[in-house]
Amino acid sequence: MSFTTNATIASFGGKLLKLSHKAKSTNCDMNLNLYMPPTSNKKIPVLFYLSGLTCTGDNCSEKGFFQHMASKKGIAVVYPDTSPRGLNIEGEDDAYDFGSGAGFYVDATKEPWTKGYNMYSYITDELPKALFESFDNLDSQKVSITGHSMGGHGALTLFLKNPGKYKSCSAFAPIANPINAPWGQKAFKGYFGEDQQQKWKEHDATELVKNWKGKDLDLLIDVGTGDNFYKQKQLLPENFMDAAKEAGVEKNIKLRMQPDYDHSYYFMSSFADEHVEYHSKFLL
Ligand SMILES: N[C@@H](CCC(=O)N[C@@H](CS)C(=O)NCC(=O)O)C(=O)O
């Protein structure tokens, strides 16, 4: 299904396209932003950026400053939405951490969320297929993934669940062990059901890393020591590192605890250049 371009905005020498399309997996129209860098390259590598709770594709494209280094490196950035919108499911807009704006990058198995809360399929399958079909200068063989908070959880789990699909993965303040954190427990209970512990584990980065069978796991993860959600044990990056160590795959995982930084886009924008540069080593 092709995209409607609702706006084209000049940014760091390239163009930010505000797109919308009808998506089957989420059963609604989806908005997203696509940053096209200023390059005549016919095969432009792509970085998917998955946002956190309450966000749309707009937050990061406006204040994450990924476009700065993406422009220099010639990398396109995709900023999708974080959930389906307007499905008229009872309770869908009641909480900031469940339903609208909180799709958690899973395919729901519990009614009524099965009606369209399929962000896993949307991000891993439907959206990339649609983009590569409509924008033939994007390189479908060179795709990487990053994200923030709930989106950091999405980046890590999509990367770990699909070996070879993404060239590289990084994360900002990821919810790294959702089955042991209040945000994750609420979401997984709602989308999968309380009694589906195996399903929960299939979408938990700390559980997934224990079973990583691919080659050396190379990851860049930043977390701010002043992040209140880190302090409240919503993120649990240490659990992820401990699991990676137990599995013997920690050698190339860089978990950087950044002094004083909080959970906001002041943190994100401070390290966006370094993350895009990190991905460029795998994409270019
Ligand atoms: N609204 C929530 C916080 C949600 C939140 O911090 N969301 C992060 C992602 S997890 C975000 O990026 N928010 C939007 C923004 O800062 O632009 C609260 O009050 O506790």
Contacts 24+ apart (CB under 8 A), 107-111: 107/25, 108/190, 108/191, 108/192, 109/191, 109/192, 109/193, 109/196, 109/199, 110/190, 110/191, 110/192, 110/193, 110/196
pLDDT confidence bin for 215, thresholds 50/70/90: confident
Average pLDDT of the chain, as a whole number: 97
- Average pLDDT (29-49) is 96
- What's residue 213's pLDDT? 83
| pLDDT confidence of residue 1 | 58
User: Over the range 108-124, which residues count as b (16 or more CB within 10 Å of their CB) and which as e?
Assistant: bebeebebbbbbbbbbb
Show the domain range for 91: 4-283
Kindly indicate the confidence band of residue 209, based on its pLDDT and cuts at 50, 70 and 90.
Answer: very high
What are the tens digits of pLDDT across the range 160-178? Answer: 999 999 999 999 999 999 9
- Residue 149 Cβ inside 6 Å of ligand 1? The answer reads yes
pLDDT at residue 225 is higher than 90: yes
Q: How far is the CA of 20 from the centre of ligand 1 (A)?
A: 23
- Can you give the pLDDT at residue 137? 97
Report, as an integer, the average pLDDT of 191-209.
97
pLDDT of 229-242, one tens digit each?
999 999 999 999 99
Among the listed residues 51, 227, 275, 279, the single catalytic one is 227
Q: What is the CATH number of the domain that holds 83?
A: 3.40.50.1820
Q: Exposure string (b/e) for 52-84, b if CB count within 10 Å is 16 or more?
A: bbebbbbbbbeebbbbbbbbbbbbbbbbbbbbb
Q: Is 125 a catalytic residue?
A: no
Q: What is the pLDDT of residues 22-32, one digit of tens each?
A: 999 999 999 99
Is-catalytic flag, 227? Answer: yes
What is the residue with the minimal CA distance to atom 9 of ligand 1?
52
Q: Is 55 in the pocket of ligand 1 (CB under 6 A)?
A: yes
Q: What is the pLDDT of residues 86-130, one digit of tens each?
A: 999 999 999 999 999 999 999 999 999 999 999 999 999 999 999
Residue 54 in contact with ligand 1 by CB distance below 6 A: yes
How many structural domains is the chain composed of? 1
